[in-house]
Amino acid sequence: MKCEMSGAARQMRDERRALRSASCVARHTTAFSLVEVMIALAIFFMAVFAILGLMSSVLRNARLLQSKKGVEAGMVAARLALTNKLTLGVDSGDFGDMYPDYSWMTDTYPDPNTTNGLFQVDIVVQRNSGSKPVESQMSILRFSPDTPTSGPQ
């Protein structure tokens, strides 16, 4: 014997099926798949490792800067670059209260290889006491068309 459902029962059954299938579809569309989660984690870890590598590099460079000696000939070269005048011959001075134990000396002469206003400046930074008298030295070329080519020798 076959059971017949009434129209109201059949309608309720169809509505329940529709709700179940709608919730299944909604559940699948709102959840993340495993592939999406793995891709997001890979991007996250790449960014974290890039930031950690950058921080490691910055810390290493900061340590290198701290370990450098305080007085260099570049400080005197920077002082010379601030002025447009060169004095031929030997000049000397000290660093004042900043580095009281150090002095500098420059020797300025026309560059022997050119005749176009280039002057070679030899810079030597010395420690006034200690076993290593020369701390730093460098030679630079400066252009000064107004400086006379003859001076104290």
> Which strands make up the sheet holding 134-143, listed edge to edge?
89-94, 102-110, 118-127, 134-143
Mean per-residue pLDDT, 122-130? 84
Mean per-residue pLDDT, 25-42? 82
pLDDT at site 40: 96
- φ, ψ of residue 16 in degrees (nearest 5): -65, -40
Q: Hey, what are 28's tokens?
A: 């699948």
Strand pairing category for 89-94 and 118-127: unpaired
Distance (Å, whole) CA 83 – CA 73: 16
- Residue 36: band (very low, low, confident or very high) from pLDDT cuts 50, 70, 90: very high
Of the ranges 78-82, 86-90, 127-131, 149-153, which one carries the lowest mean pLDDT score?
149-153
pLDDT at site 152: 46
- Residue 53: band (very low, low, confident or very high) from pLDDT cuts 50, 70, 90: very high
